[in-house]
């Protein structure tokens, strides 16, 4: 099996080279353990190895191998919690190998293929609403927004300082203020996807659209729209974001100001790292904070 080149950036992470080299072996071990016939890896993913597989009964599924890190550790738990309502089903799990066997969304066309922005936003909203149906389970191990937000008030500022203040301070101040204020008044909590945007919503048959690749966190629903607000960020402007806020507030009965505030916080958290910034995410924070 040839590992897609899009995963090559893991070589710069601690343990990344060893993980990349282990992927063919891990895939073969999973194939033997679960009686799978492996296809060629999907080429578009850049975080995990995903491989179409045939099951012993002739059905189709996807084998997913995650890098061993905190962000992906609870993906399987979220899929179990959602029970296939709005998201692909988890068929098998091997925590030791960080391997998931998941339902294959067929035909698997991404929401990015829907050209009308309003239609795409409403489709995504309908998927989100299904994911939020059940309260977080007792004794869960998901990360908590209340705790993460406290860290997010300090980390972007520290990284921004270390990088030489590459953009205006008002964005850092706005994100810190929003995180502090919103985290202290969280509404009803749900197991949130955190990265529900066009590439992670696929056309399917069991349900019209299904979510994939969650980065789960227990949060209020107003937080979970952050990635969607900046979806297709290469082609959005302030008017598009404002229209999305209007649509989501009406469709999901969410407070506009809370969605907007979390949007600033999340864009800056994902856009400012210890060694670089993502200019398009910083621009999204700028548009949301305007």
Q: What is the DSSP letter of 132?
A: T
Residues 26 and 49: their CA atoms lie apart, in Å, by 10
Q: Which of 94, 117, 138, 195 is catalytic?
A: 195
Spatial CA neighbour of 269 closest among 184, 186, 187, 195:
195
Contact 61, 37 (CB under 8 A): no
**Nearest 5 degrees, angle CA 60-CA 210-CA 123?**
150
Residues 225 and 250: their CA atoms lie apart, in Å, by 13
Q: How many CA atoms lie within 13 A of 162 on its CB side?
A: 12
Residues 183 and 3: their CA atoms lie apart, in Å, by 40
Contact 203, 108 (CB under 8 A): yes
Residues 112 and 173: their CA atoms lie apart, in Å, by 33
Residues 173 and 176: their CA atoms lie apart, in Å, by 5
Assess whether the previous peptide bond of 107 is cis (omega < 30° from 0).
yes
Can you tell me which residue has the tokens 């690749």? Answer: 213
- Kindly list the distances between the CA atom of residue 258 and the CA atoms of 58, 115, 221, 265, 288, in Å, as whole numbers in the listed order: 47, 27, 10, 11, 11
Contact 106, 205 (CB under 8 A): yes
Active site residue 195: yes
Q: Known catalytic residues? A: 195
């Amino acid at each position: 099996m040839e590992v897609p080149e899009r995963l090559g950036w893991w070589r710069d992470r601690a343990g990344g080279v060893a993980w990349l080299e282990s992927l063919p072996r891990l895939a073969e071990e999973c194939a033997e353990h679960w009686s799978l016939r492996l296809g060629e890896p999907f080429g578009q993913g850049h975080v995990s190895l995903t491989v179409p597989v045939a099951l012993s009964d002739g059905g189709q599924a996807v084998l997913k191998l995650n890098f061993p890190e905190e962000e992906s550790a609870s993906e399987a738990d979220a899929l179990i919690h959602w029970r296939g309502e709005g998201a692909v089903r988890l068929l098998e799990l091997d925590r030791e190998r960080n391997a998931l066997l998941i339902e294959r969304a067929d035909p698997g066309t991404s929401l990015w293929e829907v050209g009308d922005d309003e239609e795409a936003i409403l489709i995504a909203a309908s998927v989100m609403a299904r994911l939020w149906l059940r309260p977080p389970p007792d004794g869960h191990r998901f990360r908590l927004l209340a705790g993460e937000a406290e860290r997010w008030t300090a980390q972007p500022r520290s990284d921004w300082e270390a990088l030489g203040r590459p953009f205006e301070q008002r964005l850092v101040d706005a994100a810190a203020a929003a995180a502090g204020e919103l985290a202290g008044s969280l509404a009803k909590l749900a197991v949130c996807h955190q990265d529900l945007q066009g590439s992670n919503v696929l056309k399917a048959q069991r349900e019209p659209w299904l979510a994939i690749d969650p980065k789960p966190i227990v949060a209020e629903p107003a937080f979970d729209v952050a990635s969607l607000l900046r979806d297709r960020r290469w082609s959005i402007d302030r008017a598009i974001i404002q229209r999305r806020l209007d649509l989501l507030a009406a469709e999901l009965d969410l407070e506009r100001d809370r969605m907007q505030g979390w949007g600033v916080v999340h864009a800056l958290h994902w856009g400012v790292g210890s060694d670089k910034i993502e200019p398009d995410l910083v621009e999204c924070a700028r548009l949301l904070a305007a």
